[in-house]
Chains A and B, each alone.
Chain A
Amino acid sequence: GAGVSQSPSNKVTEKGKDVELRCDPISGHTALYWYRQSLGQGLEFLIYFQGNSAPDKSGLPSDRFSAERTGGSVSTLTIQRTQQEDSAVYLCASSLMGGTGELFFGEGSRLTVL
């Protein structure tokens, strides 16, 4: 597709389970971001991938969160042992280049932890 694709669009899970969220960026975009947005709140930076450089993980809230980007394209955000406070919309965005490129956002994955 032409835009950033995220799956699943909605995920309901039980506390303590692991979840994986997937992001397929726009083809050719070297930069990829993950953000988290709780209800009525702003975007919280989680992690940033730029080309083959080591990712900037400074926004990950705990060691239960991890992300990888395979082959410089698709990215997976994994949350282990989910907690209720992890409930939020997880947004992925990509840009043609880091530093100055406009970000294009996916529609997000809404995670609900019961």
Chain B
Amino acid sequence: GQNIDQPTEMTATEGAIVQINCTYQTSGFNGLFWYQQHAGEAPTFLSYNVLDGLEEKGRFSSFLSRSKGYSYLLLKELQMKDSASYLCAPYNTDKLIFGTGTRLQVFP
């Protein structure tokens, strides 16, 4: 089975930094994805972590600790367009299971 936990909602101010946490318990862990989903649109890929540590990609970074079953997504220099849901998705054996997502609202 699998259990994925992330905050339901977060708010932040334009230009700030926000960290979205995700804890998970899965069997046969192969890696963890983060996806972004704007309202009414399909999810789009943000990052993929297999090894422990921080992966940086522009304004977005993702961290993974396999031993702790923990990941976070770090968003820097927030922009209004970053208002969206952020979905944590660990691989469970060989299929991708999504958390319920964190809805981030960025205010001016």
Interface residues of A (CB under 8 A from B): 33, 35, 41-43, 45, 48, 50, 56, 91, 98-100, 102-108
- Residue ID in chain A nearest B48 by CB atoms: A102
- Residue ID in chain B nearest A104 by CB atoms: B45
- A43/B91 in contact, CB under 8 A: no
- A108/B95 in contact, CB under 8 A: no
CA distance A89 to B98 in the complex (A): 15
In this complex, the interface size class of chain B, counting residues with CB under 8 Å from chain A, is 20 to 34
- Whole-angstrom distance between the Cβ of B66 and the nearest chain A Cβ: 15
Residues of A within 8 A of B97 (CB): 45
CA distance A56 to B43 in the complex (A): 22
Residues of A within 8 A of B30 (CB): 99-100
- Whole-angstrom distance between the Cβ of B103 and the nearest chain A Cβ: 8
Contact with B94, one of A45, A91, A98 (Cβ below 8 angstroms): A98
- Whole-angstrom distance between the Cβ of A91 and the nearest chain B Cβ: 6
Residues of A within 8 A of B43 (CB): 43, 91, 103, 105
- Residue ID in chain B nearest A53 by CB atoms: B94
Interface CB pairs A-B, < 8 A, 22: A33-B95, A35-B98, A42-B87, A42-B99, A43-B43, A43-B98, A43-B101, A45-B96, A45-B98, A48-B94, A91-B42, A91-B43, A98-B94, A98-B95, A99-B94, A100-B30, A100-B31, A100-B91, A103-B33, A103-B45, A107-B42, A108-B42
Residues of A within 8 A of B31 (CB): 100
CA distance A48 to B35 in the complex (A): 18
Scan B75-105; emit 1 where CB is below 8 A from any A CB, else 0: 0000000000001000100111111110000
Residues of A within 8 A of B96 (CB): 33, 45, 103
- B44/A105 in contact, CB under 8 A: yes
- B42/A43 in contact, CB under 8 A: no
Residues of B within 8 A of A41 (CB): 100
- Whole-angstrom distance between the Cβ of A96 and the nearest chain B Cβ: 13
Q: A50-B94, A91-B43 are in contact. List 16 more A-B contacts (CB 8 A).
A: A42-B87, A42-B98, A42-B99, A43-B87, A43-B101, A98-B94, A99-B30, A99-B91, A99-B94, A102-B45, A102-B48, A103-B35, A103-B45, A105-B42, A106-B42, A107-B42
